[in-house]
Structure 1
Amino acid sequence: MSRDATAGVLERLGAVELGVWQVPLGLLAVAVLLRPVVSHDLMLGYPQVATSFLIWMIIVASFNLLMGYTGLISFGHAMFMGIGTYSVAIALSSFAVPFLVAAPLGILLSAGVAYLVGRLIAHKGEIYFAMLTLAFAKSAHFVANYNPGGLTGGTTGLADGTMPAWIETSRGFTYVALGGFRIDWYWAVAAVFVVGMLLLWQLVRSPFGRTLVAVRENEALARAMGVDVRRYKVWAFTFAAAFAALGGVLLEINNQGATLSELSIVTSGNIIIMAVLGGANYFFGPLAGVFVWMFVEEYLADFHTLVLPLTEVPLARIELAGVLVYWQFFLGLLFVVAVLVSPREGILGLLKTVLGRLSARIRGESE
């Protein structure tokens, strides 16, 4: 083999290796860099919110397994997150079950409910599937609000006795204290985030995940090729619920309890918005959507005065508190723009297109 041919083979092998490690390295980068970025003075300025970012990234990524890879829209995805949250809170507060037992049980319960619901509705058309998920989610919200046996706390939710003994809080920070060691809660969540997202990545790149994409692209053709479409939809629904419950379990500790908002239709709507906003066609799309949505929400909610040109050189001050009371309108406007410009590509796809064109123009000018 010639030297040029050998170099070409090595270059292709290097590209393959880089491709294999792109997602794991990207997830590690998100986990390591997220808190320093959002806690910078030019950004949000406080690190505690970064933990919520990671948890919601898991939840929205689980929903994208349905929408982005299977082509199913669920209007009740928050129900499965809420089942995970309430299961742990009830197990700790009412039955004194250890957290390390309650958490897996909550995830299994959520997956079991999703499997049963999926068996009932997976064969329905897209709009009927979406509306039925909404109906089941509304039923779950009603049950939690009804407070059967005093287990769910009704409208006030659950707070007392819902924290494991190894969770400590100090000056607004949460820590995991085990065996004489104290670990920042953020890093514990970051570890779960990386492992959970890697499992989800392996799922979507497996033959199972490839089959889900085939079902999304052409369900009739997939069925004609012998694919049991209903079975794949049911299992996609089940896996999505399990990952959502994983996020719900983490959210229970992060929020120090469970509330009805975890089961609300509004929360399900926000999950859909974040997934579409980031880009349903990309594995990292939901992560980008969560970051943009939550960052803008936190930033606009606390932003009152615009100083021009810089804070260090305050030549002009513009009071925006009266306008930014309606920050939800601006978030909604951002979502509308993203959908109109690139319905499935989202912000991540739009950024990729812009950078690609810019790179092509620079290369063209250099040539």
Structure 2
Amino acid sequence: MTDEPRTNETIKRTENRFDVSSIRRFSVPIGLFLIVVLLRPLVSHPLVLGYGQIATTMLIWMLFVASFNLLLGYTGILSFGHAIFLGAGAYGVAIGIAKFSAPYAIAAPVAIAVAGVIAYLIARLIVHKGEIYFAMLTLAFAKSVHFIANYNPEDLTGGAQGLSGDTLPAFIQTYRGQMLVNLGGFSVNWYYVVGLVFFVSMLALWQVVRSPFGRSLVAIRENEELARAMGMNTRRYKVWAFTLSGVFAGLAGALIEINDQGATLSLLSVQTSGDAILMTVLGGANYFFGPLAGVFMWLFAEDYLTNFETLYLPLAEFPVVGVELSGVLAYWRFLLGFLFVIAVLVSPREGLWGLTKSVIESAYNWLRSFQ
């Protein structure tokens, strides 16, 4: 009789463990699904940004920065030229539609493939170089590609003006500031199409980093000499990591071409690559969701602080004191840079995601201590 309660309690604990382990097992798909579902309503709220168009841009940039983190966070490779592949995807689609009248279903896969081929060729040439030389060489390639696009060979890239105008596929329609996808008489908001592509692509990227290939990349990041001594062809792994990263970045470029209604020279700029690095480190390169958090914080701060003019205290609905801040918050990069410095000094690879996770775990353990 005395053993029954213990047995039942043991069964309950086992069931709870199963439930927790099941949730943790699917935490990444659940998290990605929640991002797609909740991001647009969140930024559309009047207390946040007040409009939902920026949510689509956030999803595309999250995919782009997550592709870069395959290099920095998982392989330990720093590249200053990741904008090459974003621009290759965008310009490839724009050139295919505007110059060759190709349908998007052909232009986009070709552009993504071109981005992957460029990444593969660059990696084969320079991946065996040391970390500093590799980073500088990617910067040199980025400047070269930017120069070629600006030079406008055979009138393909549009020069400094980029490509715009007749670069949208036929199934895209704009209505009162909203972008719609019209297929066979059925219309859906462009955000949900991007959300679907984002969800599937991020799941694929998640499968890559949790596969034996991804574990090998982590081993290279931690100790490349030891991995090489164990018989691992580290150069081959780096080449394919760089190639896959370029493919996912090219996919982001194919999406941003529609989102921005064209391809601009800024997509190929070194600043775009630099922003990807800062977003990754700000969010936390050690975590799968870290770069996503960095993108959200960066774009939210850019939009919110730039348009912020007057701070009303104690509340906007009951203003007592108004403080003019437009002249100060126009320098939002300085404020975000200050936050970036704090994150790097406290935990260089943890970022905001790691710091938030540590605070939540500490608070949870502190609450449990009172039970």
For the criterion TM > 0.5, the same-fold answer is: yes
**Cα distance change on mapping 1:361 and 1:6 into 2, 3 Å:** closer
Give the match's secondary structure for 2:26. Answer: helix
Aligned to 2:288: 283
Q: What is the CA distance between 1:6 and its match in structure 2?
A: 4.8
Q: What is the CA distance between 1:20 and its match in structure 2?
A: 2.0
Output the TM-score relative to the length of structure 2: 0.96
**Percent pairwise identity:** 60
Quick one: distance in 2 between partners of 1:142 and 1:50? 31
TM alignment of 1:63-78, pairs within 5 A = 63-78=68-83
1:78 partner letter: A
Q: What is the CA distance between 1:14 and its match in structure 2?
A: 2.9
Output the TM-score relative to the length of structure 1: 0.97
Q: What is the CA distance between 1:10 and its match in structure 2?
A: 3.9
Aligned to 1:270: 275
Quick one: distance in 2 between partners of 1:131 and 1:13? 49
Aligned to 1:124: 129
| Cα distance per residue 1:142-180 (max 9 Å; x no partner) | 000000000000000000210001100011110000101
Q: Which one is further off, 351-360 or 22-31?
A: 351-360
Residue 332 (1) aligns with residue 307 (2): no
Give the match's secondary structure for 1:70. Answer: coil
TM alignment of 1:341-352, pairs within 5 A = 341-352=346-357
Aligned to 2:44: 39
1:287 partner letter: L
Residue 22 (1) aligns with residue 27 (2): yes
Quick one: distance in 2 between partners of 1:272 and 1:213? 19
| Cα distance per residue 1:328-354 (max 9 Å; x no partner) | 211211211111111100000001111
Aligned to 2:262: 257
Give the match's secondary structure for 1:41. Answer: coil
Quick one: distance in 2 between partners of 1:6 and 1:239? 45
Give the match's secondary structure for 1:240. Answer: helix
Aligned to 2:218: 213
| Cα distance per residue 1:215-238 (max 9 Å; x no partner) | 000101100111100000000000
Q: What is the CA distance between 1:7 and its match in structure 2?
A: 4.6
Structure 1: 5+ residue runs without aligned partners?
none
Give the match's secondary structure for 1:226. Answer: coil
Q: What is the CA distance between 1:3 and its match in structure 2?
A: 5.2
Q: Of 176, 180, 186, which aligns to 1:181?
A: 186
Give the match's secondary structure for 1:42. Answer: coil
Corresponding residue pairs, total: 366
Q: Of 247, 250, 275, which aligns to 1:245?
A: 250
Q: What is the CA distance between 1:266 and its match in structure 2?
A: 0.4
Give the match's secondary structure for 2:164. Answer: coil
Give the match's secondary structure for 1:288. Answer: helix
Aligned to 2:146: 141
Residue 202 (1) aligns with residue 235 (2): no
Q: What is the CA distance between 1:93 and its match in structure 2?
A: 0.2
2:231 partner letter: G
Residue 297 (1) aligns with residue 296 (2): no
**Cα distance change on mapping 1:4 and 1:320 into 2, 3 Å:** closer
Q: What is the CA distance between 1:203 and its match in structure 2?
A: 0.4
| Cα distance per residue 1:291-336 (max 9 Å; x no partner) | 0010011001100000001011000000111112222211211211
1:121 partner letter: I
Quick one: distance in 2 between partners of 1:9 and 1:316? 57
Structure 2: 5+ residue runs without aligned partners?
1-6
Residue 235 (1) aligns with residue 240 (2): yes
Quick one: distance in 1 between partners of 2:8 and 2:223? 45
Aligned to 2:4: none
Quick one: distance in 2 between partners of 1:327 and 1:288? 17
| Cα distance per residue 1:8-35 (max 9 Å; x no partner) | 5544433332222110010000000000
Q: Which one is further off, 314-323 or 353-362?
A: 353-362
Taking only aligned residues, the RMSD between alpha carbons, in angstroms, comes to 1.3
Quick one: distance in 2 between partners of 1:315 and 1:194? 45
| Cα distance per residue 1:85-111 (max 9 Å; x no partner) | 000000000001110111111111000
Q: What is the CA distance between 1:135 and its match in structure 2?
A: 0.6
Aligned to 1:223: 228
Residue 87 (1) aligns with residue 92 (2): yes
1:248 partner letter: G
Residue 321 (1) aligns with residue 326 (2): yes
Q: Which one is further off, 354-363 or 289-298?
A: 354-363
Aligned to 1:159: 164
